[in-house]
Chains A and B, each alone.
Chain A
Amino acid sequence: EDKVVQSPLSLVVHEGDTVTLNCSYEVTNFRSLLWYKQEKKAPTFLFMLTSSGIEKKSGRLSSILDKKELFSILNITATQTGDSAVYLCAVENNAGNMLTFGGGTRLMVKP
């Protein structure tokens, strides 16, 4: 059974801090790892990672995958209150038809 574990469960920081969110996984037929941001209702897609060691970057957010150690990190630099959300990690299997989600990390950024 595919498994995705995220840590920490929740995190409270102040604006301007840098945070690192972790995602480890066990999947039989790995295809890709995905990060989503869920604010109020629907998650929005952030990154897709397929290759080890190649950083994906979007503004203050960046993410990298380690396929040997089976984990990914999501970094957010210079955090803002608008970054407050639940961040979800998911893995896609090789058949490409299912995503397995982790439990999420709830980030709160205080002014």
Chain B
Amino acid sequence: DGGITQSPKYLFRKEGQNVTLSCEQNLNHDAMYWYRQDPGQGLRLIYYSQIVNDFQKGDIAEGYSVSREKKESFPLTVTSAQKNPTAFYLCASSPPGYNYEQYFGPGTRLTVT
């Protein structure tokens, strides 16, 4: 089955720890994205990557880092520098030339205490 997987579904961390969220896709999509969603709010773009070994900052990249070593994988690290990391994180991918047609993963809910 083709799709996007994110793991884990729920993640709990202590303040001051870095945490890495996984995102994998087997849709052969070039572009991948990370969004953050806070209660009652829309999606805000953290980072995106159009091709392997290249990525760009989105609107709220501070306190986050990413890597794109493989086409299938786009992990997001929430660093201790992120002041308010508790949120719902969504990963998405899109086929070449169709960046609007984003396929979303099921999301990871991160809680930092």
Residue ranges of A at the interface with B (Cβ–Cβ < 8 Å): 4, 6, 9, 32, 34, 41-45, 48, 88, 90, 92, 96-104, 106
Contact = CB atoms under 8 A, between A and B. Distances in A.
A101 B106 contact: no
Given A42-B90, A42-B106, A101 B99 contact: no
22 contacts: A4-B42, A6-B42, A9-B40, A34-B100, A41-B90, A41-B106, A42-B90, A42-B104, A42-B105, A43-B90, A44-B104, A45-B100, A45-B101, A48-B101, A90-B43, A97-B31, A99-B33, A99-B100, A99-B102, A100-B59, A101-B42, A104-B40
Nearest to A5: B42
Interface stretch (B11-19, B44-52, B66-74): B44-52
Interface of A is mostly: strand
Nearest to A96: B99
B53 interface: no
Interface in B85-99: 90, 97, 99
B102 A100 contact: no
